[in-house]
Structures are given as structure tokens and as C-alpha cells.
Amino acid sequence: MRKVVSQFGEGPLQQKLRTGDIHHVSDAELSKGGDGTGPSPHEYLGAALAACTSMTLKMYSERKSIPLKNAIVTVDIERQNDIEIFTRHVELVGDLDDEQRVRLLEIAQKCPIHKALAGEIQIKTQLVN
């Protein structure tokens, strides 16, 4: 996996991000002191879960010849009592029977980002001179 690098960008909170040769930005909303020029870190976290879920469903359905035409995944994150609550809605598009729909929902729970977020996480921080 490529490393993600973040450094100060333009404006009060914008961050310039680089993943390999791909460049993008993150920022805070206007109401939170940023300029709103890019997704917030929490929005990127939601995007990671949404994208991973949809990718996992696509790979599985293709491997199992399930007629899934699209998986539209929406993730919302809110904080309540120091707990991050991820609400994920999965819309399955295609001529699917009930058994296939249930199985695809089970597979959505197995995407690597879901496993990472629901499992134990360690963050090792090192100061670089």
C-alpha cells in the first residue's frame, strides 16, 4: 500500500495530500474554521468505508456471477458520547433474488475497511527529525 503524506495547504486548515503520484486536498467546513475546499478527514474516513464496501461487492458479485449492476454505498458519521457512529446504507442495483441480496449484505460486512474500523487498531506515532 502506498503511504499517504499530508502537509499544510492554502488557507487556515487545508491540507495537501499525496498518495504516490496522486494529489488531493482535505479541508474543514467553513463552519469549523476551514475554507471547505475538500473533504474533511472524517469525510475521507467515510469515503474509505463506502468505496471499500462497493469494491468488495463488485469483486464478489463478479466472481460468483451475481447480476449486480451497481452498489451505491452511502456513509454518514456522527459522534455521540465519544463514540463514532458509522451509518452505512447499501443500495443494490440488479436483478437479484432475496438470497443474493442477503449474501451481498453479509459480504459488505467483510470489506477490509469495515474490518479495520470494527477491529482493534493501533496507531504508532514517531517524531521524525
pLDDT digits (tens, 9 = 90+) for 98-121: 999 999 999 999 999 999 999 999
3-state SS track over the chain: CCCEEEEECCCCCCEEEEECCEEEEECCCHHHCCCCCCCCHHHHHHHHHHHHHHHHHHHHHHHCCCCEEEEEEEEEEEEECCEEEEEEEEEEEECCCHHHHHHHHHHHCCCHHHHHHHCCCCCCCCCCC
Per residue in 60-104, pLDDT (tens digit) is 999 999 999 999 999 999 999 999 999 999 999 999 999 999 999
**pTM confidence score:** 0.93
Say yes or no to pLDDT of 19 above 90: yes
